Amino acid sequence: MPVTSAVSAARTILTRLHDVMASRSHAQAKLNTVVEVIGEGLDSEVCSVYLLREGMLELFATKGLAQEAVHVTRMAIGEGLVGTIADNIETLNLAEATAHPDFSYRPETGEEKFHSFAGVPIVRRERAVGVLCVQHADPRRYEEVEIEALQTVAMVLSELIAGAGLVDDEDVALGPQQTGPARLPGLILVKGLAAGNAVFHQPRITIEHVMAEDRDAELQRVYLAFDKMREQIDKMASQAEFGVGGEHEEVLETYKMFAYDEGWSRRIIEAIDSGLTAEAAIERVQQRTRMRMRQIDDPLLADRMHDLEDLSNRLLRIVSGQMGTAASQGLRSDTILIARNLGPAELLEYDKRRLKGVILEEGSLTAHVVIVARAMGIPVLGRVRSLRGVVRDGDPLLLDAEKGEATVRPIEAMVEAFDLRFVKSKERAAAYAALRDVEPFTRDGTRITVMMNAGLRDDMPNLALAGADGVGLFRTEFQFLVSATLPARERQTRLYRDVLDAAGDKPVVFRTVDIGGDKVLPYLRHNDGEHEENPAMGWRALRVALEREGLLKVQARSLLEAAAGRTLNVMFPMVSEPWEFDAACAVFETQRKFLKGQKKLLPEAVRYGAMLEVPALAEQLDVLAPRLSFLSIGTNDLTQFLFAADRANPKLAERYDWLSPSIMRFLKRVQLNLAGYPIDITVCGEMGGRRLEALALLGIGIRRLSITPASVGPIKELVRKVDLPELGQAMTQWLASPPPSLRDTLSAWAAERGIDTD
């Protein structure tokens, strides 16, 4: 059958199906007519529909097979050709059905006369709820175009079936193999436990109507949607400097490629031509691609599939007008948010009281969204595969980001076991809370300073709750990330003042804005439209601030005014060379002079510090040291640069170890080189909040940590068990002659001394 006639066959069938569906007859009577219409339309002696009922595929209607077999012949999922199609959600097209290894003969149907067989799954919400098949006496394979027509018809059937309530609601939502509990392993990104119901960040789009009333109107809608989608993608690409991570460039390129792909748009238009609505046509083409991709076992292609899914969903959202994320619709109850990936600003849009946990298909330990979640105390499990295929909206979920797994649709016993662990974890949290007012001295009597990282006004109550010594890193850019527009000076001043008020007599170290990298500000095109190959190493942080001096001036003024009468600690991110530090200080000093001229009350003291995040600066610390009041080591960036491993790239998430001798030797050298200067040295990267890593840092001489609030208790507890001279000696030996795994060696050492490092 040529392409045009396949399209017209599908169209003829759909036109007739439209009448059938509009008729007032009973669902069974409709199905009986449907098989007649399809059989005739595809010139087949047999056409049968099997539907999923009570976990079995039941013959519901047939033209050509024995009528006595209707509602009698039943197949299990995976049994026979029909069961195989439903199980694998795949199409079969066979010249000789009996030759297929899965063929299972059912004498009551009288099918022995028929040789050729083609069957397609009837899919609803990505699961097979039935099978539509055609058979022919001649041993010939059906042509590709005929299969396509069959697939289109199967899609219409799924609407009929759902509308008529022909399959159980449970079965419609998920195949029987997926209604039970399932464990999903993942990578722990933020430790913790949470129970709640699944909410997809990008809600699944419900297709209301499959068959079009007005073909031209549908075409018009899809043309407009294509234009809008391409516009969006072009805009994203032109703002590439606000990349969301290492994969960003590649993803955008693929996006663009798919967005402009002629083949894709043509297939959608053809599907509309055959009688589908724009939504159904997009979904139909997507199903087809999904089925094809499933047959190719290639992880790279699977990634591309993700991109195409994203794009196809975007197009669907545009065409159906179902825009917005789950955040804009408001969360109903305890929510476990599910997403492929998220930006930090996107996460912050959610209602904190209802958001209990996050599961990501991607994600890495130091991506900013994960840092934000950590600060919010929300457990995150990352790198969980096939979420969409297993979890549906509203499913109960147990998120265990201590073991590294999530359980969807848990049975009672699982919930009970989880609750027990929840209680234990709360007890542990209570034990840490009891340390709140206890000063962290090591066994040999050294006071370790344990500060916390923060970024929003809402973080400040954690200071007292966790019993931290102060805020060692206040990421001022978070205010920029959560605003729709650039925060004005008054707003900045108010925030900084509130933060200082909340901190009372505890110190706060404000870091000037670090935008760029994975911190995207949609309202600020900070790179003049220039495309950046690698935004993490690009025009970000202090580099932006020094060039857009206005930005830094406003911030300097705000900070100086907010800290009137107190000490202002300010530090600069991504200092790569001493002159950058000097230039940034000069901006502050000019503002200080200006305010003085205005007779404004000034801070009692201004302490300037630098972040050590760029390895090059380590080579010039002796030059910078005399001008520094403090140095804060940002190990998140520092280690990504030391290892040349993008911190936001999930593929590299577990590749390099923070406890590698390279990192530890580097940090120790920095520490030793600065030993003679009166400079506070703090580690403020995520590693300081992990117990084993913190132990290693103590072992190389670090005495100040600034960490996520939830880690303050656990780290204080650890500190109190450590004998620094003994630890220092062991670390010196291991670094001089590294064991095969410093992680294993240090863990064993800690375990022998009863120090819990998990």
Binding site for ligand PEP (CB under 6 A): 371, 473, 475, 514, 613, 634-637, 684-685
Instruction: Select 151 or 462, whichever has its Cβ closest to ligand PEP.
Output: 462
Residue 704 burial (10 A CB sphere; 0-12, 13-18, 19+)? buried
330: left (phi > 0), else alpha (psi -120 to 50), else beta?
A: left
Closest distance to ligand PEP from the beta carbon of 610 (Å): 12
> What are the distances in angstroms from CA 253 to CA 18, 236, 250, 258, 464?
40, 10, 5, 9, 47
Q: Looking at 648-752, which runs of residues are DSSP E strands?
A: 680-683, 704-707
Instruction: Select 395 or 514, whichever has its Cβ closest to ligand PEP.
Output: 514
Three-state DSSP class for residue 453: strand
Interaction of residue 39 with Mg ion, rule CB under 5 A: no
Q: Tokens 């992990």 correspond to what residue?
A: 690
Distance CA 191, CA 709 (A): 12
Instruction: Select 279 or 637, whichever has its Cβ closest to Mg ion.
Output: 637
Interaction of residue 686 with Mg ion, rule CB under 5 A: no
Residue 361, contacted partner among Mg ion, ligand PEP, none, CB below 5-8 A by kind: none
The type of residue at 510 is: F
Closest distance to ligand PEP from the beta carbon of 635 (Å): 5
The type of residue at 171 is: D
Closest distance to Mg ion from the beta carbon of 515 (Å): 11
Q: Looking at 98-200, which runs of residues are DSSP E strands?
A: 116-124, 127-136, 182-185, 187-190, 192-200
In a 13 Å sphere around the CA of 697, the CA atoms on its Cβ side amount to 29
Angle at 387 between CA 381 and CA 392, to 5 degrees: 115
Comparing CA positions, the residue from 72, 64, 33, 22 lying closest to residue 47 is: 64
Binding mask 49-68 for Mg ion (x = CB under 5 A): --------------------
Interaction of residue 646 with Mg ion, rule CB under 5 A: no
Binding mask 325-364 for Mg ion (x = CB under 5 A): ----------------------------------------
Q: Tokens 């120090």 correspond to what residue?
A: 755
Residue 475, contacted partner among ligand PEP, Mg ion, none, CB below 5-8 A by kind: ligand PEP
Closest distance to ligand PEP from the beta carbon of 222 (Å): 42
Instruction: Select 160 or 454, whichever has its Cβ closest to ligand PEP.
Output: 454
Instruction: Select 357 or 634, whichever has its Cβ closest to Mg ion.
Output: 634
Instruction: Select 245 or 467, whichever has its Cβ closest to Mg ion.
Output: 245
Comparing CA positions, the residue from 433, 399, 443 lying closest to residue 198 is: 399
Distance CA 694, CA 711 (A): 10
Instruction: Select 116 or 636, whichever has its Cβ closest to Mg ion.
Output: 636
Distance CA 600, CA 603 (A): 10
Two structure tokens written together for 273: 């031509």
8 Å CB contact between 510 and 473: no
Residue 684, contacted partner among ligand PEP, Mg ion, none, CB below 5-8 A by kind: ligand PEP
Residue 635, contacted partner among ligand PEP, Mg ion, none, CB below 5-8 A by kind: ligand PEP
Instruction: Select 257 or 618, whichever has its Cβ closest to ligand PEP.
Output: 618
**Number of residues binding to Mg ion, judged by CB under 5 A:** 3
Instruction: Select 192 or 344, whichever has its Cβ closest to ligand PEP.
Output: 344
Question: Which helix H or strand E contains 569, and what residues bound it?
Answer: strand 567-572
Residue 685, contacted partner among Mg ion, ligand PEP, none, CB below 5-8 A by kind: ligand PEP
In this chain, which of 637, 646, 686, 717 binds Mg ion, going by CB under 5 A?
Answer: 637
**Segment lying near Mg ion (by CB under 5 A), choices 222-230, 373-381, 546-554, 610-618:** 610-618
Question: Alpha-carbon torsion 159, 165, 167, 173, what sign?
Answer: positive
Distance CA 604, CA 596 (A): 12
8 Å CB contact between 41 and 148: no
Residue 650, contacted partner among ligand PEP, Mg ion, none, CB below 5-8 A by kind: none
Residue nearest to Mg ion (CB): 637
Instruction: Select 338 or 612, whichever has its Cβ closest to ligand PEP.
Output: 612
Instruction: Select 80 or 634, whichever has its Cβ closest to Mg ion.
Output: 634
In this chain, which of 440, 467, 578, 634 binds Mg ion, going by CB under 5 A?
Answer: 634
Closest distance to ligand PEP from the beta carbon of 687 (Å): 8
> What are the distances in angstroms from CA 740 to CA 84, 734, 737, 744?
48, 10, 10, 8
Closest distance to ligand PEP from the beta carbon of 614 (Å): 10
Two structure tokens written together for 343: 């930006």
Interaction site with Mg ion (CB under 5 A) = 613, 634, 637
